[in-house]
Structure 1
């Protein structure tokens, strides 16, 4: 009998390993098949030398934690991982994750699997977060869910009938590149007017600076911008909560674009829930209420009456929980979302 198990833990039940790889931090968790986190930890992401240390660091960290918790490979069904970049799910490779310095194809899956003697499935980080909210968060047991994450950029994941939608080339769920302003702000993707440039943390600040140029009243935001001081999306929403007129106008503008984009998603997919996560979503109802209003103004009536906008519930755990759920495919060789 293993000696270091938590009280009440079934030592015979196999578990899952979740990895959420980010540009600054790698998050890990051992999770049971009901989605309960047993152990979680993190390490810094070492992107030096073309990101060559990232995979070895992950392997070592998981091995060390397995020894610490008195586990071995036979205690797990497998590993699920969420990562930035373009993922080839069949080959387990990642390329184009520039914030990791992975500019050439990385054989991530094969390397991790060979070293830990466990099967692994890899998907996009936004898809992993979508699975997390679907499984244990704000998805609320609905089978049709869209997740949108508002952070430095804007990402998303689509779950239809309990399964992730990837599209023909893995591009499904790129909600951040829905055009909300024709010929608008230049996006890093090469297009103009993408939602990402208006509803991300950086987009909120961009809108704030443009609107401040034309604002003639008193506003702390205008003072900060005119004084060339730092301004964040968090501060914009905070000042809006505290009655700053310009801040409220900025938030209304941001939410109008977000609500419009979500209405397009709703009209196309009619999911039961559209879940809003990411750092910007920490604004709570200050973001959700006006966004819902604009969504309802632009949504088809039957969509407006059936699709609900909700805030994410899992915070930073969504990615690791969702990634771990990928490994459920290795239980009885059945894909996630099937019985």
Structure 2
């Protein structure tokens, strides 16, 4: 049975897994992200290959924008030295194996579309709500990359013109309003105090406080979910997808806000669309990276 190596590169850690064609993880390893990433990444991959000699290909999911065809990192500002790296060419030369690379959110979307919550759907948008807002789009089984590797960057849709300046330098991007960072800001603006600690509430607590009737926390929840619903509706107007999958760290608290989100999305929908919680957690990027290779050989 074919085995491939899936690698998910994050800002603080790298997850590496040997995966078979059914999506079963045979070996799973997490290592710290050490900069510069190259040649560190090559060394770690060669070590895995030494332990598992029958790997047939390597899939990489990484932060930043990626030219999936050439395998070059086209934009990444928070990992010095990574932007401009020809990852595909370097790793193919070092390992002798085929290498596929894409953005990490695209990989997570591919995992959900192939194996997870959206496995029965054709037009899929995956939104990862963490520190910022990531996205991946899978149309008829193919990741939508865009010409410059910027496809699926839903966090940079302008939600509020002339709004909060985003890390990309433009004002009003969606990720400044639909993200863990946004929730933290709203907590400060509403001065949401957690009576249990007598301190400002933490983002992971604010939805529980809202469910318990805390007025300030309810204001935070309603603003966050209203903005989130607008993002989903805007994406539907452009893509007419049949399924939206929501994952990322903020979704860990979804038990406290899921029904409210669905209620806010409902009147904004142009057509029927399923909104589903992600099946995979932190392993989504690694699984999707492996799927890049498996799909390329079909």
- What is the TM-score with the length of structure 1 in the denominator? 0.82
Asked whether the 8 Å contact 2:132–2:179 carries over to 1, the reply is: yes
Residue 3 of structure 1 corresponds to: none
Residue 282 of structure 1 corresponds to: 252
| Counterpart selection for 1:27 from 15, 40, 43 | 15
Task: State how far apart, in whole Å, the 2-side matches of 1:203 and 1:264 are.
Answer: 19
1:116-265 alignment, distance < 5 Å: 116-212=95-191, 220-221=193-194, 231-265=201-235
Q: Hey, which of these two has a bigger chunk of strand by percent?
A: 2
Task: State how far apart, in whole Å, the 2-side matches of 1:110 and 1:231 are.
Answer: 47
Task: State how far apart, in whole Å, the 2-side matches of 1:121 and 1:240 are.
Answer: 43
Asked whether the 8 Å contact 2:206–2:217 carries over to 1, the reply is: yes
Residue 58 of structure 1 corresponds to: 41
TM-align CA RMSD: 2.1
Asked whether the 8 Å contact 1:78–1:120 carries over to 2, the reply is: yes
Asked whether the 8 Å contact 2:64–2:74 carries over to 1, the reply is: yes
Q: SS where residue 316 of structure 1 aligns? A: coil
Task: State how far apart, in whole Å, the 1-side matches of 2:222 and 2:262 are.
Answer: 11
| Counterpart selection for 2:263 from 282, 293, 313 | 293
Task: State how far apart, in whole Å, the 1-side matches of 2:46 and 2:115 are.
Answer: 26
Asked whether the 8 Å contact 1:150–1:200 carries over to 2, the reply is: yes
Task: State how far apart, in whole Å, the 1-side matches of 2:45 and 2:200 are.
Answer: 38
In the TM superposition, what whole-angstrom CA distance separates every residue of 1:291-310 from its partner, at most 9, and x where no partner exists?
A: 2112112121xx1xx20111
Residue 215 of structure 1 corresponds to: none
Task: State how far apart, in whole Å, the 2-side matches of 1:178 and 1:280 are.
Answer: 19
Q: SS where residue 149 of structure 2 aligns? A: coil
Compared with structure 1, are the counterparts of its residues 200 and 285 closer, same or farther at alpha carbon in structure 2 (3 Å cutoff)? same
Compared with structure 1, are the counterparts of its residues 196 and 104 closer, same or farther at alpha carbon in structure 2 (3 Å cutoff)? closer
1:63-74 alignment, distance < 5 Å: 63-68=46-51, 71-72=52-53
Shift of 1:209: 1.7
* Number of residue pairs the alignment of both structures matches: 298
Asked whether the 8 Å contact 1:77–1:330 carries over to 2, the reply is: no
Shift of 1:181: 2.5
| Counterpart selection for 1:270 from 230, 233, 240 | 240
Q: SS where residue 325 of structure 1 aligns? A: helix
Task: State how far apart, in whole Å, the 1-side matches of 2:74 and 2:296 are.
Answer: 25
Asked whether the 8 Å contact 2:73–2:82 carries over to 1, the reply is: no
Task: State how far apart, in whole Å, the 2-side matches of 1:230 and 1:186 are.
Answer: 24
Asked whether the 8 Å contact 1:85–1:96 carries over to 2, the reply is: yes
Task: State how far apart, in whole Å, the 1-side matches of 2:15 and 2:201 are.
Answer: 28
In the TM superposition, what whole-angstrom CA distance separates every residue of 1:24-76 from its partner, at most 9, and x where no partner exists?
A: 001011000111111111110112xxx1xx233333323333333xx32xx23
| Counterpart selection for 1:46 from 34, 38, 53 | 34
Asked whether the 8 Å contact 2:208–2:256 carries over to 1, the reply is: no
| Counterpart selection for 1:311 from 271, 274, 277 | 277
| Structure 1 gap segments, 5+ residues each | 1-12, 213-218, 335-339
Structure exhibiting the larger radius of gyration computed from Cα positions: 1
Asked whether the 8 Å contact 1:221–1:247 carries over to 2, the reply is: no
Asked whether the 8 Å contact 2:158–2:172 carries over to 1, the reply is: yes
Compared with structure 1, are the counterparts of its residues 162 and 330 closer, same or farther at alpha carbon in structure 2 (3 Å cutoff)? closer
| Structure 2 gap segments, 5+ residues each | none
Task: State how far apart, in whole Å, the 2-side matches of 1:55 and 1:28 are.
Answer: 16
